[in-house]
Structure 1
Amino acid sequence: MEILVLMAVLAGSLGLTALARHLNFSAPLLIVVVALGISFIPGVPRLELEPELILTLVLPPLLYSTSLESSFAQFRAASRAIVALGVVLVLVTALVVGLTVHLLLPDLPLASAFVLGAVVAPPDAVTAVAIGRRLGLPRRLMTVLTGESLVNDAAALTLYKITLAAVLGTAGSIGHGFAVFAVAVVLGIGVGLVAGLLVGFVRRKLDDPLMESAFGVVVPFAVYVAAEHLHPFSADFSGSGVLAVVTAGLYLGNQSLHASSATRVQDSSVWAAIDVLLEALVFALMGLQLPFVLDSVQASHSDNLTLVWCALVVLLVTMAVRIPYVFLSTYLPRAVRLFGRGRPAPSWRQLTVLSWTGMRGVVTLAAATGVPLVTASGEPFPGRDEIQLFAFAVAIGTVLVQGLTLPALIRKLKVRDEDEAARDEAQELEARSAAMEAALNRLDELLADHLSAVDISEERAAKLAARLRTLVETRYRGAVAAISLSAEERAASPHAAFVKARRELLITQRETLLAEREAGRLDDEVLRKVLRELDLEELALSNTLTSRLS
């Protein structure tokens, strides 16, 4: 029965994602709101969040896909900001939230309060990145957001393990905690690098796009499990599976630039589909957890009104910590001349938007759900119900409050890099010019080396060379037209007319082939072979510079 419920949730969340994309709305926000509403309906089957399912089967592929698409050069350039937000801010948030909860509920042990701090510390950038991409946030700001989401889960989950051990009675000294953290970082990065090197070697030897993609799908799960189950000293020490996945993804993503075109195209399609599937599912699961949270509150011995009030305070504190930290971590090092002297500081508008992108996600709920029921002594885990309630309030509250207001904030502050498009156009034109010159020079070499050895007339060889040269130059002129002309000029250009005519010809060919098949004069296997060629040609027409002219 649970499988049927899960399939229904998945189908419904994908339907909502399609609706959100059609309406140009944030899919995570729509899914969470609808799931919350459905959770109130009496008799609706309950689907409990499984921490192991999320942390082992959902989180690794999402992180791996994001790291594959991330630019290692941009990641390295923004590494100070990424570490400041993805590591230091996680520790600061856990500390502030833990102390706040301990002050609000003095009966709650400080160690349990810090468990909650670790649970709510890592933001999930899925919603923020989707909104930022739709509204055109500057590339550097998007890089920081994406990089933070790749790092902060590792820091928060490692801190979570340390604080959990303190409550369970299995933790050592503070030095032991630092050692656990250091080992997790070193082993995680090491496992990721080794896995990346090994996988890269194997994929090069395969030289089969289908097998390379199939092999790549297994990578995040294998790397995560290997790092988490590597205990070099004792059971307390292990690698960070999150860091291992991110490291492997960054390395393999950088190596994919040298892979075959078929492999890159296929990998892009596979991981895009996996992303949509998993993101839709996890946000639906977040909204559907409301009945479990309410049950835990009702079963708690604490006053329900006090718990609700404390949950609201924890939500506000969690959101508020990020705001001054973002400004201080940016301007303070420059003021004391520690970092950032070679790069202009981001504007206060960009920092304001960055400070409001602290939406929490399913990792927060999974970690809260994974808190054990009892300690090592057999006593009930102190504050488990409070941790689950506060974590749910922070996760859902930040998604709704910050997620719903972030687009308006971006529009109000007009956070855009007005010069970014011009810089991109200049770089693209320069790169295309260099590529054209290289291709024409190579053509001259080919003419000298090969065409002269072929038994054809000089006139025919000259025509063939002229045709190849025309293809290269036409491609470049089309790029110049697509980049430098205005929208009105593009629509009236000869290239635009050529693109539209070419698309109409492809449609005509496809319709004719289907008619031949319906008439029984064309076998399905032959049809699929020819259709694939037409499909690839149309995809090239739609996804390259020519799409700008249509």
Structure 2
Amino acid sequence: MGLQLLVVAAGAIGVAAVARRRGWPVPLVLVAVGLLVSPFVPAVPLEPELVLYVFLPPLLYSAALDSSYLRLRDAQRTIGLLSVGLVLFTAAAVGMVVHLMLPDLPLALAFALGAIVAPPDAVAAVAVGRRLGLPRKALTVLIGESLFNDATALTLYRVAIGAALGGAVSMWQGLGEFLLAAVGGVAIGVALALASAWLFRYTRDSLVENTLMLLIPFAAYLAAESVHASGVIAVVIIGLHLGNRMHLQGFGTRLQSAAVWRVTAFLLEAVVFALIGLQVVTVTEGIMGSYGVWEVAGYAAAVLGVVILSRFVWVFVLTYPIKLLGQATARPTVAQRLILSWAGMRGVVSLAAAFAIPPEVPARDRALLLFLTFTTVIGTLLIQGTTFPTLIKRLGVSGRQQQYEDRLAEAAAQQAALDAGVAELERLIEKDGEPDEIRAEVISNLREKSWRRSLSAWERLGGGTGQDGAETPSALYRRLRREMLHAERRVFVRLRDERRLDDEVLRTVMAELDFEEALLNRD
């Protein structure tokens, strides 16, 4: 298993590298390649425990750290309707349709299938949306939905499976389990968030803090699941809390954290999407002989259609009267609703839940649920995922105006901050008295740097060129300084190769040059 995962990870990274270079959506390419190579390679099992306890917590935590608590709070009504209301509605719709098609299948298992395929995975949709400039509000809703909908679906799944194995479960029992999972997850998340924030006040060591951050999502998930609370909610809560307080950490912690979680998310997402495609042989083998080809294809098409259609019905029909009961908010346009409705790609959590169906469930029923889950995941990824970019372009929904407003706000904020910095410099000069020649040169350099940063912030509004298309002073400075840095690096490396500079010293000076170039390339 370990060797198989290593090979899958290496192959997935290679495929992802090619997709990134060509500008293709990485998740969809990984799934497609997995489907193509699956018949020709040994079966790679998708272990539910591996997905739910190893892959899911850090992916959720990384997404929560990178999310805006304030934007999520502003969109909480829409996110709640999608992550709770839509999941319940989809699960009910799928359960009823499956029960009508397969009356011999226990009703509880039909609703278990509904819970399995109900939660979308927004990774693919967000990746495409960001690349094509989807408005921030739409991205916030998609991210918020993906952070919380797994908790609703997995809780509903546990209730349905329990009913299938242990007899009838009343609506009040199911509601009680759901509330226990939600409230317990929030309580554990808040408690660990406060404890972690208190601990980070005394560490002040970027290496230690980032090491602890790697452990936090696993600790939160395990702590919540051990008391039958929602591990998903616990991880999201602590991630949002610490992400909102990241400005209180040292600069070293922030720089390392950004790099650590980008690499972690890239690796885990590459592996999980590759694993989805590689399950085709395992899934189809289980269904062979139990059902006719056209029969099972009809079931799969019906479930996929209900999953896609239920999202449209919820977004366009059912949420409107619900919102009328609450406070008035700006109504999204038809184009925005279409994009939100079409961004319903399913992911690895659904597949892991299907693989986790207990062996006590009859093998024929278990194989059918797994097959229908797999076809729904693949169908939404390949149908909705491949057409999602075209839909965004055709509808002309863009966040370009928001990008301009962001740069304008950044320039104004930079100007205000730099004015405060210069004022503090002048106060210190006045306090320390008349500077000597060396101190005067240092002060002059500080003033020049502040002026250059202020100029750069305003010039970014024009994309680095003036009105006549000529290179702006800041753009010229960055270009020339980059070339100087490349020349400096060549000298350091040459001195190392000539044994006149130790490798440890080389790494130190290279890090300094890299930080400077990172500032130059921040556009």
What is the TM-score with the length of structure 1 in the denominator? Answer: 0.92
Aligned-residue offset at 1:534: 1.2
Q: Which of the numbers 347, 353, 358 marks the counterpart of 1:372?
A: 358
Residues 352-431 of structure 1 correspond to what in structure 2 (within 5 A)?
352-374=338-360, 380=362, 383-431=365-413
Amino acid at match of 2:288: Q
- Report the identity percentage: 43
Amino acid at match of 1:65: S
> Residue 287 of structure 2 contacts residue 364 of structure 2 at CA under 8 Å; is this kept in 1?
no
Residues 489-500 of structure 1 correspond to what in structure 2 (within 5 A)?
489=467, 491-500=470-479
Aligned to 1:338: 325
In the aligned structure 1, how far is the partner of 2:327 from the partner of 2:133?
Answer: 25
Is 1:244–2:230 an aligned residue pair?
A: no
Aligned to 1:94: 91
Aligned-residue offset at 1:491: 5.0
Residue 312 to residue 463, structure 1, CA distance change in 2 (3 Å): same
In the aligned structure 1, how far is the partner of 2:304 from the partner of 2:30?
Answer: 21
Aligned to 1:521: 500
Aligned-residue offset at 1:433: 1.9
In the aligned structure 1, how far is the partner of 2:460 from the partner of 2:108?
Answer: 60
Aligned-residue offset at 1:172: 3.8
Aligned-residue offset at 1:526: 1.5
Residue 461 to residue 282, structure 1, CA distance change in 2 (3 Å): closer
Aligned-residue offset at 1:129: 0.3
Is 1:63–2:60 an aligned residue pair?
A: yes
Aligned-residue offset at 1:6: 1.6
Amino acid at match of 2:487: T
Amino acid at match of 1:348: V
Aligned-residue offset at 1:421: 2.5
> Residue 119 of structure 1 contacts residue 160 of structure 1 at CA under 8 Å; is this kept in 2?
yes
Aligned to 1:26: 25
Deviations 1:359-405 (A, max 9, x none): 00001110001001115xxxx36721211110001001100000011
Aligned-residue offset at 1:59: 0.6
Residue 487 to residue 322, structure 1, CA distance change in 2 (3 Å): farther
Aligned-residue offset at 1:259: 1.4
Aligned to 1:233: none
In the aligned structure 2, how far is the partner of 1:213 from the partner of 1:486?
Answer: 35
Amino acid at match of 1:527: L
Q: Which of the numbers 295, 298, 305 marks the counterpart of 1:316?
A: 305
Deviations 1:517-538 (A, max 9, x none): 1112111112112111111111
Gaps of 5+ in 1: 231-237
Deviations 1:279-300 (A, max 9, x none): 0100111111111111111153
Aligned to 2:489: 510
In the aligned structure 2, how far is the partner of 1:192 from the partner of 1:448?
Answer: 49
Aligned-residue offset at 1:464: 4.1
Is 1:222–2:219 an aligned residue pair?
A: yes
Residue 329 to residue 470, structure 1, CA distance change in 2 (3 Å): farther
Aligned-residue offset at 1:477: 1.3
In the aligned structure 2, how far is the partner of 1:71 from the partner of 1:239?
Answer: 24
Deviations 1:187-217 (A, max 9, x none): 1011111111111221221111111111100
CA RMSD, 1 decimal: 1.7
In the aligned structure 2, how far is the partner of 1:485 from the partner of 1:12?
Answer: 37
Amino acid at match of 1:345: R
Amino acid at match of 1:282: V
> Residue 452 of structure 2 contacts residue 474 of structure 2 at CA under 8 Å; is this kept in 1?
no
Amino acid at match of 2:139: M
Is 1:253–2:240 an aligned residue pair?
A: no
Aligned-residue offset at 1:251: 0.3
> Residue 109 of structure 1 contacts residue 382 of structure 1 at CA under 8 Å; is this kept in 2?
no
Aligned to 1:38: 37
In the aligned structure 2, how far is the partner of 1:485 from the partner of 1:256?
Answer: 29
Aligned to 2:422: 440
In the aligned structure 1, how far is the partner of 2:465 from the partner of 2:23?
Answer: 22
What is the TM-score with the length of structure 2 in the denominator? Answer: 0.96
Aligned to 2:11: 12
State the SS of the aligned residue for 2:154.
helix
> Residue 224 of structure 2 contacts residue 234 of structure 2 at CA under 8 Å; is this kept in 1?
yes
Q: Which of the numbers 494, 497, 510 marks the counterpart of 1:531?
A: 510
> Residue 297 of structure 1 contacts residue 304 of structure 1 at CA under 8 Å; is this kept in 2?
no
Aligned to 2:449: 471
Gaps of 5+ in 2: none
Aligned to 1:235: none
State the SS of the aligned residue for 2:288.
helix
In the aligned structure 2, how far is the partner of 1:426 from the partner of 1:528?
Answer: 37
> Residue 330 of structure 1 contacts residue 345 of structure 1 at CA under 8 Å; is this kept in 2?
no
Aligned to 2:178: 181
Deviations 1:441-484 (A, max 9, x none): 211221233x22x8x54x66555434322221221012112224
Deviations 1:300-336 (A, max 9, x none): 3x434312211111111111110121123553345xx
> Residue 81 of structure 2 contacts residue 319 of structure 2 at CA under 8 Å; is this kept in 1?
no
Residues 145-184 of structure 1 correspond to what in structure 2 (within 5 A)?
145-169=142-166, 172-184=169-181
Aligned-residue offset at 1:35: 0.6
When structure 1 is superposed on structure 2, of 483-492 and 172-181 the one drifting more is 483-492
> Residue 455 of structure 2 contacts residue 474 of structure 2 at CA under 8 Å; is this kept in 1?
no
Deviations 1:61-117 (A, max 9, x none): 000000000000000000011011111000000000000000111111111100100
In the aligned structure 2, how far is the partner of 1:259 from the partner of 1:495?
Answer: 30
In the aligned structure 1, how far is the partner of 2:479 from the partner of 2:10?
Answer: 36
Q: Displaced runs of 4+ in structure 1, greater than 6 A?
A: none
Aligned pair count reads 522
Aligned-residue offset at 1:5: 2.0
State the SS of the aligned residue for 1:492.
coil
Q: Which of the numbers 276, 280, 290 marks the counterpart of 1:286?
A: 276
In the aligned structure 2, how far is the partner of 1:381 from the partner of 1:89?
Answer: 30
> Residue 459 of structure 2 contacts residue 465 of structure 2 at CA under 8 Å; is this kept in 1?
no
Aligned to 1:234: none
Q: Which of the numbers 107, 112, 117 marks the counterpart of 1:110?
A: 107
